[in-house]
């Protein structure tokens, strides 16, 4: 091997080192990208108790020289995590929360890189300290409800919670604040007309923001209700055939209601008691009446039929959102309003619709149509339904006792 070749192989690493030093020096003086840091285990507006264990993570393109931190705008000692001198790292931080007041606090971190420009980044998080023991109590220890009515449960809790769930008749139902910011939680459970009478104990599980769990029990009795009976109600075959030509199958209506249940807001859209949707001259059919007809056989009439003069105005019984407006075989021209918490009202057999559209927010008393006899109807009337979680219950109760 010649001396020139030997010199080349000796000089190559030296030249590479000099080039690396040169690039590093240039990078050191010209780097202007701020460090990238984030929190792991600390979520903005998250809730924590006793001790908060989290970390500060860097994914920047230049090594971080130093971290500074402030808890509630006061300098916070990061200990060994203060001086890093690495580009990629995850520095652990422990914040003792036992001596902090319950409520909101802030934690802010500043990262300074090792470049000549000492580029800086600040990240700030607001978090909640919740060291308050979870407490809750039913307003009543025993509840009684009749078939076809709504079971209205109330629980007083000492602070906001993330979930309050009751298991009843093999289904789960949820409690929500009675009003915005309230710690009085309520739950509406529908009792079907044909539900069996029973005396049982139901259990509610409550979980707060820091995963404390509390279980409560209450006694619930379902009592029988003596529904009236009716015979001889008929709708002519000719009218039914006409309706079939211009109306959609009622199953489409029920499927649409089931779909909208999943989208119902988890808060009340209404305020106060519901109102009758027409000026009532008389009630032609009460809720739950047992009918026997040639077309449908024996069934419960799961709405209330209200009578006034033909084509009189029908208005919304409460604030809510129009979710269905169409014509169906059994209910004729139909409007359904979502009032939040899976509470719907249905208005059937309308002569025609008011100036409302699906998606509109309506107020109690807004006109939505005119009283008619479309669909499975033999005379002018309004068929009014109250649906709680998709189950029809007596709407009259919602005009007096429940709101």
Q: Do the domain assignments include residue 248?
A: yes
pLDDT attached to residue 298: 81
State the Cα–Cα distance between residues 288 and 275, nearest whole angstrom.
19
**Whether residue 317 sits in one domain with residue 178:** no
Domain that holds residue 163: 136-223
State the Cα–Cα distance between residues 49 and 242, nearest whole angstrom.
66
Here the CATH number for the domain that contains residue 383 is 2.70.70.10
pLDDT attached to residue 15: 45
**Whether residue 239 sits in one domain with residue 189:** no
**Whether residue 378 sits in one domain with residue 243:** yes
Q: For the segment 47-67, what is each residue's pLDDT rounded down to a tens digit?
A: 999 999 999 999 888 999 999
**Whether residue 206 sits in one domain with residue 234:** no
Q: Do the domain assignments include residue 12?
A: no
On the CB side of 22, CA atoms within 13 Å amount to 6
Q: Do the domain assignments include residue 260?
A: yes
Q: Do the domain assignments include residue 2?
A: no
Which residue pairs, CB below 8 angstroms and at least 24 apart, start in 238-241? 240/295, 240/329, 240/376
State the Cα–Cα distance between residues 193 and 209, nearest whole angstrom.
38
**Whether residue 38 sits in one domain with residue 112:** yes
pLDDT more than 70, % of the chain: 93
Q: Can you point out the beta strands (E) in 339-381? A: 343-350, 352-353, 361-362, 367-370
Cα 391–Cα 227–Cα 230 angle in degrees, nearest 5: 105
**Whether residue 334 sits in one domain with residue 280:** yes
Is 333 within 8 Å of 374 (Cβ atoms)? yes
Residue 259 clears pLDDT 60, i.e. is over it = yes
**Whether residue 149 sits in one domain with residue 101:** no
**Whether residue 146 sits in one domain with residue 108:** no
**Whether residue 233 sits in one domain with residue 219:** no
**Domain's final residue, options 90, 112, 129:** 129
**Domain's final residue, options 129, 152, 174:** 129
Here the CATH number for the domain that contains residue 43 is 2.60.40.10
Q: Do the domain assignments include residue 122?
A: yes
**Domain's final residue, options 183, 201, 223:** 223
- Pairing mode, strands 213-223 and 198-207: antiparallel
**Whether residue 390 sits in one domain with residue 354:** yes
Is 194 within 8 Å of 122 (Cβ atoms)? no
**Whether residue 383 sits in one domain with residue 248:** yes
Question: Mapping DSSP to helix (H, G, I), strand (E, B) and coil, where does residue 319 land?
Answer: coil
pLDDT attached to residue 242: 83
> Could you say which DSSP state residue 81 is in?
G
Q: For the segment 300-318, what is each residue's pLDDT rounded down to a tens digit?
A: 999 999 999 999 999 999 9
Q: Do the domain assignments include residue 6?
A: no
Q: For the segment 172-199, what is each residue's pLDDT rounded down to a tens digit?
A: 999 999 999 999 999 999 999 999 999 9
């Amino acid at each position: 091997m010649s001396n020139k070749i030997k010199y080349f192989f000796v000089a190559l690493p030296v030249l590479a080192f000099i080039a690396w030093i040169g690039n590093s020096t240039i990078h050191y003086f010209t780097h202007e990208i701020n460090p990238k840091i984030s929190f792991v285990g600390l979520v903005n507006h998250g809730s924590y108790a006793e001790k908060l264990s989290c970390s500060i993570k860097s994914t920047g393109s230049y090594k971080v020289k130093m971290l500074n931190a402030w808890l509630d705008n006061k300098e916070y000692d990061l200990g060994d995590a203060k001086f890093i001198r690495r580009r990629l790292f995850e520095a652990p931080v422990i914040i003792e929360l036992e001596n902090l007041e319950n409520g909101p606090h802030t934690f802010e971190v500043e990262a300074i890189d090792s470049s000549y420009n000492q580029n800086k980044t600040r990240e700030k998080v607001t978090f909640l300290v919740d060291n308050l023991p979870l407490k809750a109590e039913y307003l009543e220890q025993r509840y009684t409800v009749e078939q076809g009515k709504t079971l209205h449960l109330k629980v007083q809790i000492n602070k906001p919670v993330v979930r309050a769930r009751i298991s009843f008749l093999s289904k789960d139902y949820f409690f929500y604040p009675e009003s915005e910011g309230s710690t009085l939680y309520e739950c509406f459970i529908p009792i079907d007309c044909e539900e069996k009478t029973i005396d049982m104990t139901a259990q509610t599980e409550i979980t707060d923001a820091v995963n404390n769990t509390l279980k409560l029990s209450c006694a619930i009795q379902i009592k029988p209700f003596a529904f009236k009976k009716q015979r001889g109600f008929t709708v002519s075959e000719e009218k039914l055939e006409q309706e079939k030509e211009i109306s959609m199958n009622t199953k489409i209506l029920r499927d649409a209601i089931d779909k909208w249940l999943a989208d119902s807001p988890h808060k009340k859209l209404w305020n106060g008691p519901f109102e009758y949707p027409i000026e009532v001259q008389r009630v032609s059919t009460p809720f739950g009446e047992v009918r026997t007809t040639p077309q449908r056989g024996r069934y419960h009439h799961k709405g209330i039929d209200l009578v006034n003069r033909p084509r009189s105005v029908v208005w919304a019984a409460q604030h809510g959102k129009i979710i269905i407006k169409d014509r169906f075989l059994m209910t004729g021209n139909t409007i359904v309003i979502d009032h939040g918490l899976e509470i719907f009202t249905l208005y059937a057999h309308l002569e025609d619709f008011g100036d409302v559209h699906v998606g509109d927010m309506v107020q109690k008393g807004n006109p939505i149509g005119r009283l008619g006899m479309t669909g499975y109807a033999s005379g002018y009337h309004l068929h009014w339904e109250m649906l709680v979680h998709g189950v029809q219950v007596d709407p009259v109760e919602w005009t007096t006792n429940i709101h």
